[in-house]
Amino acid sequence: MYASEGDVLRLDKYISVSAALTRSESQRTIRAGRVAVNNTLIRDPAMHIRGDECVTLDGNVLSYSEFIYIMLNKPAGYISATEDARPGERVVTELLPPELLRRKPFPVGRLDRDTTGLIIMTNDGASAHRALSPNSHVAKTYRFTCSPTLSKESKAMLERGVDIGEVDSLGRSLLTAPAIVTINSLGSEGEITITEGKFHQIKRMFTAVGSKITSLSRVSFAGIALDESLPAGEWRYLMPEEIEKFTSAGRGKAGM
């Protein structure tokens, strides 16, 4: 079912979404007699669909889903915005094919231009909003390299919380929330998991302990791990269990 009980959907919208066609391509396809609903050929694009019918295109059963959920491995040099955000900049939506862009996906949260790795793209605004809400405390894990190397004391400070210049509504200094940090024996690389999403947060956290991030890559968001087989610049659909993690993030299931 695509909608709450009692809702209806036009056949041309159904075909355009489920077969990745424009609305006019979908209407032409229907008028050409290529679409059947419950085994009856339908040529009326305005026919109303409830969602429990069997709809076929050229004999192939279609399935309708209101939302799309995509995992993108962001390369460096792209900004996390939609195509109309900043003229002249390379934006992550350029990495998706036109038929997907018709569904209007947007990046869930931002990675800096030089940060690589996992970005979820979706057109499910409500779930994205929940996942990004500061109250949701959704965990994000980043792989980093840094210089100068991180001492055990600095690691412990990052884990406890550091002052990155944030203040509360009364102007009092706020520390970052507790983080989980693992480092190699040299202190030059590791992973950090945070549950906030302040501007340049990790870079500012490392600056606060006297180090500097030299590379940053997100490897997990809300319990969804970046698919290691996905080359930089490539995308794939989220799998059902990943969609479940994403849509339940912020409902109390995705923290650290």
- Minimum Å gap between C-beta 194 and ligand URA is 8
Count helices and strands (H / E) in the chain: 7, 17
Residues 6+ apart with CB under 8 A from 152: 187
Residue with tokens 């993690």: 245
Return residues touching ligand URA (CB under 6 A). 111-112, 115, 200-203, 216
Minimum CB distance to ligand URA smaller for 19 or for 120: 120
Residue nearest to ligand URA (CB): 115
Q: Which is nearer to ligand URA, 18 or 82 (CB)?
A: 82
Query: Which two three-digit tokens encode residue 136?
Result: 């949701």
Shortest reach from residue 35's CB to ligand URA, in Å: 44
CA distance 204 to 199: 9
In angstroms, the CA 81 to CA 44 distance is: 38
Minimal CA–CA distance to 104: which of 129, 78, 124? Answer: 124
Mind telling me the catalytic residues?
112
User: Is 71 or 111 the residue whose CB approaches ligand URA more closely?
Assistant: 111
Q: How far is the CB of 182 from ligand URA (least distance, A)?
A: 17
